[in-house]
Amino acid sequence: HGLTLYEIDSNFNIHSRVDAMEARWIMGKWQVTDGIKRQFQEGIIKTSVIKNETIPIKEGPDELHGTERLADEMSFADLKGYIAELKMDGYDATRYIVDLHGKIAFPFINIIMVILGVPFALKTGRHSGMAMGIGLSVIIGFSYWIVHAITTSIGYNGFMPPVIAAWSANLIFGIIGTLMFLNVRQ
């Protein structure tokens, strides 16, 4: 329901526009009903009414559906295949590549948090209160999430390679945790 179709040339000049109330995929062809067709030729617009006409479009409903798939809703293999499809069709898949690497990098947050938590536990021991430990955990977790969101966003926009964007937060907080751990041992 509510179809608008543009016919353009290689220079993106509009040759025609079809506005129709309805289009149906019948036996491998698009049937358009109740519409208006405008043809643009040398500054002249020719308008005609469409009652029922077949439109020569080879793509079917599945190809034209065009819903963007969310990386969070796909498995690793599905996402990898979707990236290959996007690249083959000439689309920019950078955002999905960042998310693909993120599917590998993000689970390592558990190890990173342990690396960060051990130095605090060794330094403070049983002398500090539970509130301090909870507060530090929230601050560290929130800081990780902010760094992860910023680097992922930078990667989405193509200003950072996808692998680096996905792994930056782990790398930064892993280094901080390791340095803190080495500091406690001295």
163 in the same domain as 97? yes
Structural domain span for residue 41: 3-64
Residue 132 shares a structural domain with residue 117: yes
- pLDDT per residue over 111-133, tens digit each? 998 888 887 777 766 556 667 76
For residues 87 and 93, is the Cβ–Cβ distance under 8 A?
Answer: yes
Environment class of residue 52 by beta-carbon count within 10 Å: exposed (0-12), middle (13-18) or buried (19+)?
Answer: exposed
| Same domain (yes/no): 28, 117 | no
Residues 60 and 80 in one domain: no
Asked if residue 133 and residue 81 are part of one domain, the reply reads yes
Cα 60 to chain center, whole Å? Answer: 25
Which amino acid belongs to residue 146? I
Pair 40, 92 in one domain:
no
Domain count for the chain, please give it: 2
pLDDT digits (tens, 9 = 90+) for 62-119: 666 656 678 888 999 999 999 998 888 788 899 999 999 999 999 999 999 888 888 7
Residues 101 and 161 placed together within one structural domain of the fold: yes
Asked if residue 162 and residue 75 are part of one domain, the reply reads yes
Both 60 and 75 in one domain: the answer is no
Q: Output the pTM of the full model.
A: 0.62
Is the domain of 98 the same as that of 133? yes
Same domain, 131 and 76: yes
* 107/19 same-domain check: no
Burial class for 7, CB neighbours closer than 10 Å (0-12, 13-18, 19+): middle
